[in-house]
A and B are shown apart, each in its own frame.
Chain A
Amino acid sequence: MSLLSMAPSLLLGAELGAEASEKQPSVADAVFEHVTDSHVLEFHWPFGGQLVIQLPHWPVSLFGHVYDFGPTKHVVWMWIASVVLFLVVFLAGRARGKSLVPKGLSNLIEMIVLFVRDEIALKTMDEQMADQYLPYLLTAFFFIVFSAGVGLFPFSATSVGNIAVTAALAGCTFVLMQVAGISHQGFFGYFKHLIPAGVPWWMTPLMFPIELLGLFTKTFALCIRLFANMIAGHIVIFFILGLVFIMHTPIVAIGSVPFAVALYLLELIIILIQAYIFTMLSALFIGMSAHAH
């Protein structure tokens, strides 16, 4: 999903539309086709020609329903992002060797690692817990940055712009919240302390369901926030570029292309901010559930 990948398919759409007026794909069709998941990987070359890879369907029957576990476009790009992330971080750790002085790539990665440790983990948890949950928080931060970063390249897709992916990430945080709560306060202690101290005992029937629901709303908000922020920028960029086709005049490009480029740069900042917010809130929720409030 990118600026470059969209234009040819839109052109294609326009040509098709001219030829067969009854099957006229709109700009909105093209845009949503690019931001949603599919079983097709499409690469369009700038001067004609394209590569289309059909991804397999792996139907699995579970609980009376048939689910498709075949890798989709978003799965593939998530894997690509994961491999890139692994290589970058692995090489960054390896590049320095035994020297205590970081340089180049290791310096950058280390700076971010230190940021996550000092500004996120240590601000929300005690030292022992921070040490325990840092690998999760660091991976979440880098995973979001790399998945969304990969989505900025031509012909790629932003996997964290899919609600299923963000739901899975938020689900992981949810599980860790429960793990942290139960391991620090005991099973009953954790659920007892869901109700804030100082609330009168007769409020329990009201407060307990609310707090229990709160666990899920926190997770839900985590999921929706990341998903919406990641997909919104892409949709806006596509529609602004799509103005050329909606207006049927290339003159619009004079305004819409620079504007789209500006939004593209804004996306870079949004990716970092959203990765920070997701990691920060995950750390906050995990830290909160570990200690009775």
Chain B
Amino acid sequence: MSTPTKTPLVPFDDALTRYEPVMGLEVHVELGTRTKMFCGCATEFGAEPNTQVCPVCLGLPGALPVVNAKAVESAIRIGLALNCEIAEWCRFARKNYFYPDQPKNFQTSQYDEPIAFDGYTDVEVDGEVYRIEIERAHMEEDTGKSLHVGGATGRIHGADHSLLDYNRAGIPLIEIVTRTIEVPGDKAPAVARAYVNQLRDLMLALGVSDARMDQGSLRADVNLSLKPTGSSTLGTRSETKNVNSFRSVERAVRYEVGRHAGILDAGQKVVQETRHFHESDGSTSSGREKSDAEDYRYFPEPDLAPVAPSRAWVDELRGTLPEPPSERRKRLQAEWEFSDLDMRDTIGAGALELIVATVEAGAAPQAARKWWLGELARRSNDTGVDLAALPITPAQVAGIQALIDAGKINDKLARDVFDGVLAGEGTPEEVVASRGLEVVSDDGALGEAVDRAIEANPDVADKIRDGKLQAAGALIGAVMKEMRGQADAGRVRELILEKLS
């Protein structure tokens, strides 16, 4: 299944000296509708197994599908937000293949008549705008989930048997497929990441999905091939499936570029196959070989009526669209008074919507940016968890900033509060209380600490008495040390100067 002999991975920059990457991205968005695509079952995440099922989504004999109006509406709005044409008339189709997580052994999808097609979206990387062309966005349904029992932990290989939960089967999905993306090779990984990030932001702005990569409600497949620089001959592509973070999208592109280059350098052929991405080391491994034998035998779904959205309805939905991403970015930069560099960093970090939400929760834009791009970006890098997937909400970040603004904690203590919130210890207030992090500004306690510091450092005290006020820093440091950082530094300085004047 894999290449005949293992070829070395070529460093990314080296690969770009000889090859140009050609990418395509397929993103599946799980819609946040209350019910499934074709039946009235609930869609709550994390429900007890097989409690959100009915004859339709279990594929029981005789059951028939009925289309969820909200899902069609969401599909049209997504299509419009991606500047797509909306089909005047389109049908569902059956994609026939056998797999135990697919209750009917066909997926109800759309084939050559997608509801939305021929669109684009502009993404920004390092201040440059790249247009990503959208081939199609179509409606389909999700599969059930299998749990592999026995053998290695939860892996499909070596399992004794599998256990199936069909709660997820039939949840509406929108599959968004790009046309071939050709950008300067060195930008490809970042463009891929920025595109997926922008889709996430768009889904949130549309209110159609929670678009959480970590929970699988937004899943990206990265298709990649290389062509020799200057050539127009396309190479064989690999399809890296279900990449589940923005960072991983970028890493998957880099890895596949290096892997393909190694194979081509060795004069071998790239195998057309699906590949799995591994978060641990950023590598991919061989999945299933795509062969000509794969034959989905698509045909129009006879159990569903064609969908023919009236132009009046489409226009009405057009009126509900959020601001386009590029205009939104411009407006926010002006409102927030961010420099071009601030804005570029914000977008690069995928923090735009997080800052929007933090500002909405009451924080100043610069403060919001400081936390998301500083403290939290560092933790995201350390743990490999996307910024948006960190276990802290914009409202909590705003809450921490509010505590600082109120003088209850200082920046240093704030870092401890972040620790506590990220560790699941509760709201910022609860963490402050349980960890005893509130700054001491009570003159009694501070006064005693100041007295002890003066007593312990008579030389420094004398200098201050002689008017060398800059020496106060040493005494402040001593007090802060004694108070384990929880002192109001401004008040400490005032007390020192009062006592030594």
Q: Do A and B come from one complex?
A: no
Which of B's residues lie within 8 Å of A, judged by CB?
Answer: none
Which of A's residues lie within 8 Å of B, judged by CB?
Answer: none
